[in-house]
A and B are shown apart, each in its own frame.
Chain A
Amino acid sequence: MSEADTGTQGSPTGPEHVDAAETATVRRRHGPLRSLPATGLIGLLIVAAVVAVALVSLVWTPHDPLQAVPEQRLSGPTPQHPLGTDRYGRDVASILMAGAQVTLAVGCVAVAIAVLIGTPLGVLAGMRRGWTEELVMRGSDVVLAFPALLLAIMASAIMGASTWSAMAAIGLASVPGFARVARAGTLQVMSSDFVLAARVAAQPEARIARRHVLPNIVGLVVVQASVTFALAILAEAALSFLGLGTPPPEPSWGRMLQSAQDHLAVAPHLAVWPGLAIALAVLGFNLLGDGLRDVLDPRTRGRR
């Protein structure tokens, strides 16, 4: 459906930001879902499935994910345990379902932290320019020197391993991404005629930010959020794999992989299922992000 969007791109001489505003209304008429490319739709379905599994696991799992049955440890697939059991004889399918909760919770909180800090900073930098911009950009350079995983390892060194420290660290490490995206979008919007008109009309800065800037960069932020969510899932999995993330007994995909390592020779299925779950969730958010970018980001629109 993206051809429909490309058709609305207006006169080739017109500046790009005007197109952005135009498509915003066009999108509303068609609905964002209908113009999502097929791969984006697949991503959306995967994400919806992961969310559904996490929600279902809140009220129902085939077995108690924490209940150990020692005489059934490390069993392969049986009718009673379709995905087998782990080293304590716990049902892998149930742990897997419950593990989706932590994954999504970490992703949501981390992305929320990064959006809420990064976006205003980026908008501020793009609107004020000058030393404010310099400060924000150099600040994000410094934070960029610490990848999410490294920051999370530092946090667990001083505060001990916990889901909260993982969320905070991953969220903080993702702030520069949002600041940069928001700044780039803001710069573009600020050079548009409607912002010029608003400034000539002596509208206060906060109002310009709310009325003109934010609505026009929401797409960029949403795309960044989807991609960051995927990165957060990977970081949380790695952290739990290292034993520095979600502490036991709380089910977590990363820690399932960690314990699977000890039984790789006799029970490789223990690595396959959580591994598949992580890869699928990350794939889902990445595909969704790419699809949304095609629809929402004026810079890549019309490229294919």
Chain B
Amino acid sequence: MIRAVGGRALRFVLTLAATSVLVFAFMRVLPGDPAEVALGTGATERALEQTRAEFGLDRPLAVQYWDWISGIPLGDFGVSFVTGEDISPVVLDRLTVSLILVVSAMVLAVAVAVPLGSWAAVRHRRADGIAVSALSQVGVAVPNFLAGMLLVAAFALGLGWLPANSWMPPAYDPLQFLSHLILPVTALAAVQAAVMTRYVRTSVLEIMGQDWMRTARAKGLSRFQALVRHGLRNAALPVLTVTGIQLTTLVVGAVVIEQVFVIPGIGSELIEAVTTRDLLTVQSVVMLLAMITLTVNFVVDLLYLILDPRTAVRT
């Protein structure tokens, strides 16, 4: 067990390192001259020299890389080549906003998908089970920003129940905070719930065909009782994996949803940085998102070990 955890931890660290090199190469080496990107092609050679010297872009790439990567564990992402300001405070501030959005959406999606998917599996031959399954198939095909726009059109512009966009910090007014949260979280969660409902359904359907489930039924348990007592625990494994993967797609989905609802999250920050050609901010935000993805995958891996100790032997 300890060996298995150690192996996964090592793999995690190596992947993280390789990812950071890739991000650095992509954002700093591929564009050629970052100073020229920041100042535009019309910049004079003197201005370019000055920018390069100011931000240490004239140093060897390995030194620049180390400078950047060694600051990240301390929460220091460096100084923007475009604004000349420290990136970290803004990025971390906006990350909090996005995480509120993503985590709420995830909780909502799981809360909807697990019962709905189990229902669709138990009643997979009945009309209602098929309806749930068909609905989830359609839901998977809807882009989350479209769901967001439709929700705005219906509940904000049409009925006027909820605000159409913008963001309210929770400390400012908790009630306002919640009312601003409902539509974007629903938009994110709805599509996610559709994806997960399908996985839960498949997983539960597979479990229901197992011999020990038949034994449970033979003991006199109803389908639902057997499912709750014996089935869901076993169906949880594949669902857990999917939840991990979905968490990362949610983070990316939030990038788009933040644009729809004008929310100052990490996604808006990324898009702003792209349009102002602020390479270091793009680089840091991308690294941050990739780090979140890899960490979530690592945690899922570890949870898997706890839930199904057999996997420790297999790999």
Interface residues of A (CB under 8 A from B): 39, 138, 141-142, 144-147, 149-150, 153-154, 156-158, 230, 234, 237-238, 241-242, 244, 257, 260-261, 264-265, 268, 271, 275, 278-280, 282-283, 286-287, 303
Residues of B within 8 A of A138 (CB): 11, 14-15, 18
With A154-B286, A241-B143 given, name 7 new contacts (CB 8 A).
A153-B270, A238-B143, A257-B146, A264-B153, A278-B143, A279-B138, A283-B141
- Selected contact of A156 from candidates B26, B30, B150, B274, CB within 8 Å: B274
Quick one: which of B92-113 are within 8 Å of A by CB? none
| Docked complex: B260-315 residues within 8 A CB-CB of A | 260, 270-271, 273-274, 277, 279, 282, 286, 289-290, 293-294, 297
What are 24 inter-chain pairs, A to B, with CB distance below 8 A? A39-B137, A138-B11, A138-B18, A141-B11, A141-B15, A145-B19, A145-B290, A145-B294, A147-B248, A147-B252, A150-B289, A230-B141, A234-B143, A241-B259, A242-B271, A244-B271, A257-B149, A271-B149, A275-B146, A275-B149, A278-B146, A279-B138, A279-B146, A283-B138
Chain B interface category by residue count:
35 or more
CB-CB under 8 A from B30, the residues of chain A are 158
B142 cross-chain contacts in A, Cβ below 8 A? 275, 279, 282
Question: Which residues of chain B have C-beta atoms less than 8 A from A146's C-beta?
Answer: 286, 290, 293
Given A138-B11, A147-B248, A149-B255, residue A271 in contact with residue B150 (CB < 8 A): yes
**From A153, A237, A261, contact of B274 by CB (8 A):** A153
B153 touching A142 by the CB < 8 A rule? Answer: no
Shortest Cβ distance from residue A293 to the other chain B in the assembled complex, whole angstroms: 11
Whether a CB of chain A sits under 8 angstroms from the CB of B27 is yes
Main secondary structure of the interface of A (DSSP, over half): helix
Q: Is A142 a contact partner of B149 (Cβ separation < 8 A)?
A: no
Residues of B contacting A147 in the complex (Cβ-Cβ under 8 angstroms):
248-249, 252, 293
Name the CB-closest residue of A to B292: A145
Asked if A158 and B146 sit within 8 Å, CB to CB, the answer is no
Chain B residues 60-101 with CB under 8 Å of chain A are none
Q: Which residues of A contact B277 (CB under 8 A)?
A: 157
Partner of A158, one of B14, B19, B31: B31
User: Given A286-B137, A287-B137, do A275 and B150 touch, yes or no (CB 8 Å)?
Assistant: yes
